[in-house]
Amino acid sequence: MINSRRVHFVGIGGTGMAPLATILLQSGTEVSGSDCKDSPTLNKLRQAGARVSLGHSASNLDQPDLVVVSLAVNGENPEVIEAERLGIPVLTRAQLLGSLFNEKKGVAVGGTHGKTTTASMIAYVLERTGQDPTIAVGGEILDLGFGGKLGRGRYFVAEADEAYKSFFELKPFVSVVTSIDDDHLDHYGSFEGVVEGFRRFIGQTQPDGYLVACGDDPNVMAATDGYRGRAAFYGEKNGDYIVEDLRVEDRSWRFRVRRKGDTVEMSLRVPGVHNALNATAALAACEWLGVDCSSVSEVLAEFSGARRRSELIGTVGGIAVYDDYAHHPSEIQATLKAFRARHPGRLVVVFQPQRFSRTRLLMNRFAGAFSDADLVVVDDIFYKGTGEAPLDGVNSRRLVELIGANSGKPALYISGKEEIVRFLSEHAESGDLIITMGAGDIRECAVRLVETFGGRTA
């Protein structure tokens, strides 16, 4: 654990920052922090003992020994400037995570898609089987009620984020790679740079450690070139752990995993082929850590998911409202395919694109990602805190045109959550499934929808 007695977090409410603040609070460290907007996350941190300020100001620093900054925070932040003026050490979130993670036997889960859910599954299994791990994942594990926790056990389960090359700070005992896709190209210069980044992450696995990687993903396999350590691969087609006979029964996803000459029966509450693969990665990692397969299967059958990962917000008047973090075309397609497989009624998507750069890069792929939806509503592009400025020709109106032309399904541009809620409160019907999607603040729309439907009279 770090030696600092008082630590200040700039951007304390971020999905990567809050778990680390929680770990330090539980270690007895005095924690303060600031963020630009109040949230349930900040309330939880306050309840845990953190002193939280809204807005960024040099006066928020109350003689800390260390300042931790989110990578989304730039050097012009007044708190960062004040810390540097006072000679207070400043670490990035990734550097703090690395210093904590590398003290234990670390399990790092990386991948363009699926890392939060897979890390949550591994953490949940280790927690439920008495391993008492330290946990730092970017989404609250719904069954546990937290995404950050200081454990007494020897394992540290962390989400390994490739953005900003953050996962280079980690030296895992177990490395898991779920997928590699064309995201965060601005941090790597090219897709080849992304693959090379994952190759470096894999290469940082400890000599006596273990790699778990998706054998069906050619980009993942390319990143494993040159790795000579112990490894297990998984997939539907290629690997040591093979997913078979995937089916939906009684609203559960059931399948078998064939491994080492026998099979493991699996059942999941969380939907989709992608989650069956995530669970198989968790099975392989946990088996290596000494948890028997039957225990993994039993625990994962009770796993309800992570916040913002196919999360049920509420069901009112026959209308089910979900929220999901999906913000890349591959994630959107996989999530909608899973919902379509178990929902015969109308599927309505409310999508909030994030970042102008990502939207421009993936515009044509976004256009083809919504084929399983019956209606798509697109909000304005979310770019708060990204440091980006609008780009000519990159907007939600254009995206709606492309979605409509590609899918042949109705697609609408509606600006702002209030207008979206108003529209859906007038047009949603019993039997509809509505899912909000995006990496910004679109979850607020799902919450407001449930509140609105609850107060609506027939």
Query: What's the pLDDT score for residue 457?
Result: 43
In degrees, rounded to 5, the angle at the alpha carbon of residue 11 between the alpha carbons of residues 77 and 304 is 160
Could you tell me whether strands 51-54 and 66-69 are parallel, antiparallel, or unpaired per DSSP bridges? unpaired
DSSP at 309:
S
Would you call 230 helix, strand, or coil by DSSP?
A: strand
Asked whether 33 and 45 are in contact (CB, 8 A), the reply is: yes
Residue among 15, 116, 178, 335 flagged as catalytic: 116
Residue among 79, 159, 311, 331 flagged as catalytic: 159
Q: Any catalytic annotation for residue 116?
A: yes
Asked whether 181 and 222 are in contact (CB, 8 A), the reply is: no
Query: What's the pLDDT score for residue 69?
Result: 95
Query: What's the pLDDT score for residue 263?
Result: 96
Q: How would you list the strands of the sheet with 433-437, edge to edge?
A: 311-316, 319-324, 433-437, 347-351, 375-378, 411-413
Asked whether 216 and 182 are in contact (CB, 8 A), the reply is: no
Question: Which residue in 357, 359, 305 sits closest to 327, CA to CA?
Answer: 359
Query: What's the pLDDT score for residue 178?
Result: 97
The rounded Cα 320 to chain-centroid distance in angstroms is: 22
CA separation for the pair 110, 213 (Å, rounded)? 10
Query: What's the pLDDT score for residue 311?
Result: 86
Residue 319 phi, psi dihedral angles, 5° rounding: -105, 120
Residue among 115, 311, 335, 359 flagged as catalytic: 115
Record the pTM. Answer: 0.81
Asked whether 285 and 157 are in contact (CB, 8 A), the reply is: no
CA separation for the pair 425, 442 (Å, rounded)? 16
CA separation for the pair 446, 437 (Å, rounded)? 9
Tokens of 133: 């791990």
Q: Residues near 192 by Cβ (< 8 Å), separated by ≥ 6?
A: none
Q: Any catalytic annotation for residue 115?
A: yes
Would you call 337 helix, strand, or coil by DSSP?
A: helix
Give the residues of the chain that fall short of pLDDT 70: 1, 183-186, 455-458
CA separation for the pair 310, 307 (Å, rounded)? 8
Q: How many CA atoms are closer than 13 Å to the CA of 170, on its beta-carbon side?
A: 32
Q: Any catalytic annotation for residue 337?
A: no
Helix (H) / strand (E) element for 375: namely strand 375-378
**Which domains occur in the chain, in start order?**
6-91 (3.40.50.720), 102-300 (3.40.1190.10), 311-455 (3.90.190.20)
